């Protein structure tokens, strides 16, 4: 089947810094790397590297043709990426020596995705395909609502977190992925536990503490593989892409989570975002301890 991903495409400028900057602080970076990023593009690359058929739906400006080429090189179908009259999205990322980051994004073309691009993509989708979105684009609610009505299985990655954006898609979502901070914020905003949202499967990522799956009639915890983190940027996107690819290959949820945890662990041990995502062979060959 196919994974249809409405997602952002960014140019990532990643700066290695001695510590994350505070308010009013000017800090000199020790390194700069440039590459493909965006929560959407990272998810598409991860799912494609995990051997899924992935169609990315999004937008870039004329300055973003290189990013579309890069997605294509990773095996992502780019036919439904529109070129619009906005600059391509970009992200300024500070990464500290522990691999922690803070990210500033300029949405640009990511919030100018034409409705026609979404419609043209979903016109090709088939019952049983998967549709996914994150919160860096326009049109998420319409995308997931239409996909659901067409008989697709739907997933939402609630990042960057905005409780209103989650609330707008909740009733059309089969799988919700968020981190523990976002889960607590969502519970506070809605006055309900994430396990009581009416969403069949909810995955709460907890960094080095692992993942909790609410679904299948209960809650189940998954210990994270242990690695030395160099750069955690894009780890959540990698996890989400690998989970969706695993489910698409009819893996049980527990197995899809386990594989995705290994992919995310390998990814945080290297610098970079989309270009640091491991392929399926690396993940299958990895021997990581808990
Ligand atoms: O999740 C990491 C991503 O967030 C980066 O690639 C950056 O582009 C921002 O979208």
Residue 72 falls within a domain, yes or no? yes
Look at residue 212 and tell me whether its pLDDT is greater than 80.
Answer: yes
Residue 25 falls within a domain, yes or no? no
Q: Is 49 left (phi over 0), alpha (psi -120 to 50) or beta?
A: alpha
What average pLDDT does this structure show over 223-236? 94
- Tell me which residue has its CA closest to atom 8 in ligand 1: 38
pLDDT band, residue 289 (cuts 50/70/90): confident
What average pLDDT does this structure show over 12-33? 96
Look at residue 216 and tell me whether its pLDDT is greater than 90.
Answer: no
pTM above 0.85, yes or no: yes
Q: How far apart are CA 55 and CA 48, in angstroms?
A: 9
Range of the domain at 48: 2-20+32-277
Residue 150 falls within a domain, yes or no? yes
Structurally, the chain folds into a number of domains equal to: 1
Residue 226 falls within a domain, yes or no? yes
- Tell me which residue has its CA closest to atom 9 in ligand 1: 38
- Which numbered atom of ligand 1 lies nearest the CA of 136? 10
Q: Treating both helix axes as pointing N-terminal to C-terminal, what angle do 65-73 and 39-49 enclose, rounded to 10 degrees?
A: 20
CA of 218 to the centre of ligand 1 (A): 31
CA of 216 to the centre of ligand 1 (A): 30
Of 12, 99, 134, best ligand 1 pocket probe by most atoms within 8 Å of the beta carbon: 12
| Cβ-contact 273, 36 below 8 angstroms | yes
Cis peptide before 226 (omega within 30 of 0): no
**What's the mean pLDDT when you consider all of the chain?**
96
Q: What is the CATH number of the domain that holds 169?
A: 3.40.1190.20
Q: How far is CA 7 from CA 3, 42, 58, 59, 279, in A?
A: 12, 9, 6, 9, 20
């Amino acid at each position: 089947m196919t994974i249809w991903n409405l997602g952002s495409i960014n140019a990532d400028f990643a700066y290695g810094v001695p510590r994350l900057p505070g308010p009013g602080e000017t800090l000199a970076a020790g390194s700069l790397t440039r590459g493909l990023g965006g929560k959407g593009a990272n998810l598409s690359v991860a799912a494609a590297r995990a051997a899924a058929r992935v169609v990315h739906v999004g937008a870039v400006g004329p300055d973003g043709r290189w990013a579309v080429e890069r997605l294509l090189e990773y095996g992502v179908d780019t036919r439904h990426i529109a070129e619009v009259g906005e600059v391509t999205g970009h992200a300024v990322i500070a990464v500290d020596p522990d691999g922690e980051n803070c990210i500033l994004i300029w949405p640009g073309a990511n919030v100018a995705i034409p409705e026609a691009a979404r419609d043209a993509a979903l016109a090709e989708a088939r019952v049983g395909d998967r549709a996914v979105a994150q919160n860096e684009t326009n049109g998420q609610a319409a995308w997931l609502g239409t996909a659901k009505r067409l008989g697709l299985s739907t997933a939402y990655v609630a990042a960057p977190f905005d409780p209103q954006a989650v609330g707008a898609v909740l009733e059309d979502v089969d799988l919700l992925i968020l981190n523990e901070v976002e889960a607590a914020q969502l519970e506070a905003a809605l006055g309900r536990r994430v396990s009581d949202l009416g969403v069949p499967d909810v995955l709460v990522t907890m960094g080095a503490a692992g993942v909790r799956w609410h679904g299948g009639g209960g809650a189940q915890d998954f210990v994270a593989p242990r690695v030395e983190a160099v750069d955690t940027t894009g780890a959540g996107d990698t996890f989400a892409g690998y989970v969706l690819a695993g489910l698409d290959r009819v893996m049980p949820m527990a197995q899809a989570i386990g594989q995705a945890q290994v992919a995310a662990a390998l990814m945080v041990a290297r610098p970079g975002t989309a270009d640091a995502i491991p392929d399926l062979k690396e993940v299958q060959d990895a021997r990581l301890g808990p």
